[in-house]
Amino acid sequence: MKRRILSIAAALVILAAAGFPFARAESTEQHTSMRKYSYMFFGTFDTAITIIGFAESKTVFDELTAKAEQMFNEYHRQFNQYYPYEGLHNLYYLNNNAGKAPVVVQKELFDLLSWCKTNQPKTKGRVNIALGTVLSLWHDERENAEMHPDRAKLPEMEHLLEAAKHTNFDDVVLDQDKQTVFYADPLLKLDLGAVAKGYATELVSQYLLHSPMPNFIVNAGGNVRAGLPPLDGRDAWGIGIQDPDVSLVLPGGNDIIDVLYLSDMSSVTSGDYQRYFTVDGVRYHHLVAPDTLMPPSYIRSVTIITQDSGIADLLSTAVFLMPFEEGYAFVESLPDVEALWVLNDRSIKMTKGAETLARSVREK
């Protein structure tokens, strides 16, 4: 329950910053024939998902958001590593069966794994979706700490090191013709937490961009994808960056550390303030470095700004696991990617391109 509450808080950042309504049926007159509507739903990717868009009628908006919700539900089922679904060869099924024989999967899951094969090498070794055996040990201790705070402890390093022997993504064999997945190492486990939500958000956003409602914004618990600009006179959507010292963001509060103005772009934030547990007064978040097998404490958060939400999700994890100087140089080396950091002393750093999008700089 704690994780669900915090995820909902992240979903409210954009609404608080931009002053949008929460109820599905609300609308406001615009200078065109389009009206603004909003809808929030729960139950996918462990977060609240909000869609705000300008449509010619509530009927059109409801039809499009119903399809978007259906898509999110399907991706959640396929990419889910924790729960089985009858008749579905999802990630949970793969992790329990693909080490025995090749498993036929649906196109969406196969495409995501192929996408990871292409894009994971671009993260300088900071992201490895085959780190599941290691991450499961951290996940178990985090769950234990939530239920029994007085018994909170870290995973044993010897167990982490043993698990790390089974994290080679090259052992995941994809057969394009047969659309099968096979784990050459039967002890390997995949974890798509660094990419699945952003990847799904981009797929849904591409559907909306090519629909009768291309002027929209989707917020999937901090994974934000803006479509074309809002039709109310503004040239961009306002996206709030959460203060990492605030666990719950409320409308009208002083919980936003900055605002980014984006259109047809994504912003994804990785930080240490949502999924974590405390041992002996030290906070251990859920993002684990593949080299040390530990959660680092280089920064409080980083927000990646680029067009594709899947790429933004992947890069936000990678850059969060880098010291600031290394992360800054890495982002600057990438075309069409910007970033905003909140450092441990609460100071804010940005790439030059991000400065042109940030309220704190634009209003000076």
Per-residue pLDDT of the chain (364 residues; tens, 9 = 90+): 233 323 333 333 443 333 332 223 334 444 458 999 999 999 999 999 999 999 999 999 999 999 999 999 999 999 999 999 999 999 999 999 999 999 999 999 999 999 999 999 999 999 999 999 999 999 999 999 999 999 999 999 999 999 999 999 999 999 999 999 999 999 999 999 999 999 999 999 999 999 999 999 999 988 999 999 999 999 999 999 999 987 655 554 568 899 999 999 999 999 998 789 999 999 999 999 999 999 999 999 999 999 999 999 999 999 999 999 999 999 999 999 999 999 999 999 999 999 999 999 987 6
Query: Taking the alpha carbons of 287, 293, 298, 304 in that order, is the dihedral positive or negative?
Result: negative
Q: How many CB atoms lie within 10 A of CB 193?
A: 21
Q: pLDDT, tens digit, for every residue of 70-95?
A: 999 999 999 999 999 999 999 999 99
| Separation CA 303–CA 340 (nearest Å) | 5
**Cα 357 to the center of its chain, rounded Å:** 21
Q: Which residues pair with 49 in a beta bridge?
A: 41, 220
Describe the strand order of the beta sheet including 216-220 as a list of residue ranges.
Answer: 35-44, 47-55, 216-220, 223-226, 266-271, 299-306, 338-343, 348-350
| Separation CA 137–CA 163 (nearest Å) | 9
| Separation CA 220–CA 310 (nearest Å) | 12
- Exposed (0-12), middle (13-18) or buried (19+): which is 69, by Cβ within 10 Å? middle
Domain 87-183 listed as CATH 3.40.50.300:
no
Q: Which residues pair with 85 in a beta bridge?
A: 88
pLDDT of residue 247: 60
| Separation CA 242–CA 14 (nearest Å) | 9
Q: What DSSP string runs through 206-233? A: HHHHTSS--SEEEEETTEEEE-SPPSSS
pTM of the model: 0.90
- DSSP H helical segments within the chain, as ranges? 2-11, 13-18, 58-79, 91-97, 107-119, 132-147, 157-163, 196-209, 309-320, 324-332, 352-355, 359-362
DSSP label of 126: S
CB 261 within 8 A of CB 237: yes
| Separation CA 76–CA 197 (nearest Å) | 8
Region at 180 (left for phi over 0; alpha for psi -120 to 50; beta for the rest): beta
**Cα 320 to the center of its chain, rounded Å:** 13
Nearest to 225 by CA among 235, 215, 212: 215
Q: pLDDT, tens digit, for every residue of 110-166?
A: 999 999 999 999 999 999 999 999 999 999 999 999 999 999 999 999 999 999 999
